[in-house]
Structure 1
Amino acid sequence: MDRTQASALHPALLPLGTDVGPWRVVGWGGQGVYGAVYQAVRAGAEPAHPVALKLALLPRDPRFARERELLARVEHPSIPRLLDSGEWQHPLGTVHPYIVMEWVDGTPLYEWVQEHQPAPEQVVRLLAQTARALEALHAQGAVHRDVKGGNVLVRRSDGRAMLVDFGSGIHSGAATLTPPGAWTGTPAYRSAESSLFSLRHMRDVAARYSDKPTDDLYALGVTAYRLITGTYPELSDPFKDEVGVWQLGEMNSPPPSALVPQIDPQLDTLIVRMLRVHPEERGTARELAEALEQVSERITLQRAPPQMTPQPAEMSSSTRPSPPPAVSRMRAPPRWPQAMAAATALMLSAWAGWAVRDGILAMPSATRPEAADSEREEASTVGLGDTASRAPTSSAPDASVPEVMAEDSLPEPREGQATPDAKGRCPRKGQLALNGGCWVRLGLEREDCEGSGYVFTSQCYGPVLSNPRHRQPTSDPGSQP
């Protein structure tokens, strides 16, 4: 291969037939933030069952060693098995690590429920299986750090929930790669305690949040709430207590039962429990898995047809025992509220680039990298042992550009933004003083907040601008056009 051909070869766009270690690329899987996933088989063993080969986009990416070690520690039927790992040398000399996992032929959780309209016990069973996977992970001192619907695939062969994408995961003794002040994960699923940590340490440039199993459980609660109701739960606005410490109240959103009355009462309680602000009230993955399994079994028994027993001839139909009432099937949320929300978002698009100023909207800039978009996780990811996106791959990414982590740091004040007074108070009631700027909650769904505001503590905020009459002119009024 000449140098021109070699330079055109990129880890994100390997041609079919390329050998990576003992594995041969036979299909495309998708591209994530840090790696590309291919369908591969052992070279010389075709035809064979495919595997998922994840190749690092950047040379010697240390995340792959951490992910390999994490997967090597855990063995569970709802976690893809680690099969191999190694390094692939690019023809120009750069070395890219890879890991090989069990190929999961499945559908992302939210999409699967929308397509199949499953019975309630099936939905609860999938949540229980995901909780069991987290139990196995936490038992090994590991945390997934990106639990969400897009990272749970429902396997086609047997309907089992498979927890995937361990690229953000961390285990005891692993090197910390996230810089201070940053946060890894998907903002819509960020735990209350992680958000509070950022608020309480906003001036400490060396502060680093340490993820715990309870962060995974909160994210599982968000997944369950979104799965059942079709919406994301929201926390209350942050506030300072009597000694000036930032606090958060409990969930501002109603419990799932207020939106889906037919939900099982115990399942409703479990979801609210996972979303508690105080992490110690969530319990453990094992406790939640056991409780979810009990709910699934009980619903199954309630839905089972009554036993056919011989009836005495003299027994009238009015005295015969009646079967238990049927439990309605778990249905995906109706589409018309989503259509209304989309129409509202379209009307708001006239305001979409604007932040609130005295009840009027004014232009802000984007506040978070696209990689942190909570809706990216709902893209279909079929057949992978790792999550990948549907982003177009017609051109290879520039490997010289550092990768952008999905992080949710505090927003910096923008030009012309109102600032709190010496006592930390903003000009108007209901405005939030945050990191030296004044912010107000926007009436936008989390999906529509990207680019129009800032998602923090699971809600959408926009910057409050200073009174324009107090601004200095930016051009000479006497100048001719």
Structure 2
Amino acid sequence: MESASPPSPPPAFLPLGTQVGPWRVMDWAGCGVHGAVYRAVRIGDEHAAPVALKLAMLPRDPRFAREAELLSRQHHPHLPRLIDHGEWQHPDGTLHPYIAMEWVDGVPLYDWARLYRPDSAQVLRLLAQVALALQALHTQEAVHRDVKGANILVRRWDGRVFLTDLGSSTFRGADTLTPPPLPPGTPIYRSPEAWQFAAQHERTATTAYRALPTDDLYALGVTACRLVTGTYPDLGETRRDEHGTWRVESLVLPHALFSARVEPPLRELILRMLSMRPEQRGTAAQLARAMERAATTLTPAHVPSNDRADTSSWQRWLTTVAAVGTLATAMLWVIAGTPEVPLRSAPGGIGASGPADAGPVGLGEAAVSASTEDTPAPSDPGAMVADTPPEPEPGQAKPDAKGRCPHKQQVALNDGCWMKTSFAQEQCESVGGSMYQGACYLPIVSPKRRPSTTVPTTRLPRHHEGAE
């Protein structure tokens, strides 16, 4: 009796040596909801510089043509350079688009901040680089629509910032990716005006919100707030006006943003980006100039050398994460949900003043040393501690009568089967996982389920319902 042939590998787990167009896969580099990234080399020129090969999870995913189109228009120091694009044919016959881009040996933004503890001047210069990348896109009448820490890489050897993942972007003439009312993106980074529009048009299935450059700037403000405090801003109270229209009137900001650890010039620019009135945010070019000017007024803080993470430690950590991620993607497909993250916000609106905590200027320390009223203490780098086990997803695998899951690598938890990984919170949330007791749990679900990129709009969300 012949043994059944092994199943073909999914795009998220290609064996090393697989050929994709003119490229050969050399290493697994990461995985998101829509694509897997590999380090690859050109066949016949293996000694040349590697590329980042991004392969679509789903056949004919239109995001990849969109990203290739935008990158082909740009040659910017803070956007990865497009090298090639095409389609890879899976052994089952489906065609998956791919993009080959400049390889950036970088660290995701929030992870970089935890490792290197930047001061306010460094953060301002870093944010200015992101603003310059946004300026380049906005000049092309494009909007990124998914600015967040996971899509910002800081290159190891020189600290240059790269804004990545343009697949959710829009530009003049681009086709629609998702149904109304909201475009693709990560909920916690959406602007108040986007959520207000969704609430006002929840019964109008044909009316879509048009993202503007000011939406990108608000998302950059959320990113900056999360970077320096470890906590997201939250929508404040909402009310209906005399015409029955929903209005978002304020934001609730973390106390740590008003502590002595965040220098006033940086705080003021974050508040400017988070303004409830889009026109007060200005333009990306104006913000970049303001950030550079503010950075020159600040004296760099001294950080003892033994407080900085050495490169070898980071590389060992990355190797561990990659190994766990490779195992996970080999075993399952992960859907993108909206996990609840137990982050707490301080009361008060955008003009509130918080406690002036004494302490060093280092913002990495601000993120991890804030009071427990603002941020639960992580038990693992990047992980917020949750005491409540995650709820299983619809269609998620369940343990049998003896409490065992289908594979020994899976964990039975709260009547569901999960893959326990060492992903940091940012990575965990971006692939639909849930943090529990310092670890990231990925749901074991049917591979036939298509990842969801939308959230309910029946009411304006609180911050934990749209966490990244």
Distance 1:290 1:89, change over 3 A: same
2:32 is matched with 32
Query: Where do 1:51-130 residues align within 5 Å?
Result: 51-130=51-130
CA deviation string 1:437-479 (max 9, x = no partner): xx9x7xxxx4xx4xxxx45xx9xxxxxxxxxxxxxxxxxxxxx
Distance 1:226 1:351, change over 3 A: closer
CA-CA distance at 1:150 after TM superposition: 1.6
CA-CA distance at 1:181 after TM superposition: 3.2
1:13 is matched with 13
CA-CA distance at 1:179 after TM superposition: 0.9
Counterpart secondary structure, 2:118: coil
Distance 1:338 1:184, change over 3 A: farther
1:479 is matched with none
Query: Where do 1:103-252 residues align within 5 Å?
Result: 103-252=103-252
1:467 is matched with none
CA-CA distance at 1:346 after TM superposition: 7.8
Does the alignment pair 1:408 with 2:441? no
2:371 is matched with 337
TM-score (norm 2): 0.70
Counterpart secondary structure, 1:379: helix
2:352 is matched with none
Counterpart secondary structure, 1:402: coil
Distance 1:395 1:228, change over 3 A: closer
Distance 1:273 1:65, change over 3 A: same
Counterpart secondary structure, 2:231: coil
Distance 1:376 1:267 in 2: 26
Distance 2:80 2:118 in 1: 24
RMSD: 3.7
Distance 2:44 2:92 in 1: 25
Distance 1:376 1:145 in 2: 23
CA-CA distance at 1:280 after TM superposition: 1.1
Which residue among 427, 444, 457 is the counterpart of 1:379? 427
CA-CA distance at 1:401 after TM superposition: 3.6
Q: Extract unaligned runs of 5+ from structure 1.
A: 304-326, 354-369, 382-386, 412-433, 459-481
Distance 2:202 2:247 in 1: 14
Sequence identity (%): 48
Distance 1:170 1:346, change over 3 A: closer
Query: Where do 1:218-367 residues align within 5 Å?
Result: 218-253=218-253, 258=258, 260-300=259-299, 328-333=361-366, 334-335=368-369, 337-338=371-372, 342=376, 349=388
Distance 1:25 1:347 in 2: 37
Distance 2:390 2:164 in 1: 38
CA-CA distance at 1:108 after TM superposition: 1.3
Distance 1:115 1:250, change over 3 A: same
Distance 1:350 1:96 in 2: 35
Counterpart secondary structure, 1:122: helix
Distance 1:243 1:253, change over 3 A: same
Distance 1:220 1:24 in 2: 35
CA-CA distance at 1:68 after TM superposition: 0.8
Distance 2:188 2:44 in 1: 45
CA-CA distance at 1:89 after TM superposition: 1.7
Counterpart secondary structure, 1:85: strand
For the 8 Å contact 2:35–2:55, the answer to whether it is kept is yes
Letter aligned with residue 115 of structure 1: L
CA-CA distance at 1:30 after TM superposition: 1.8
CA deviation string 1:377-423 (max 9, x = no partner): 71289xxxxx989989999973x443322x23324xxxxxxxxxxxx
For the 8 Å contact 1:168–1:184, the answer to whether it is kept is yes
For the 8 Å contact 2:189–2:222, the answer to whether it is kept is yes
Counterpart secondary structure, 1:100: strand
For the 8 Å contact 2:214–2:281, the answer to whether it is kept is yes
CA-CA distance at 1:162 after TM superposition: 1.2
Distance 1:52 1:82 in 2: 10
Distance 1:396 1:300, change over 3 A: same
For the 8 Å contact 2:301–2:361, the answer to whether it is kept is no
Structure with the greater alpha carbon radius of gyration: 1
Distance 1:43 1:347, change over 3 A: closer
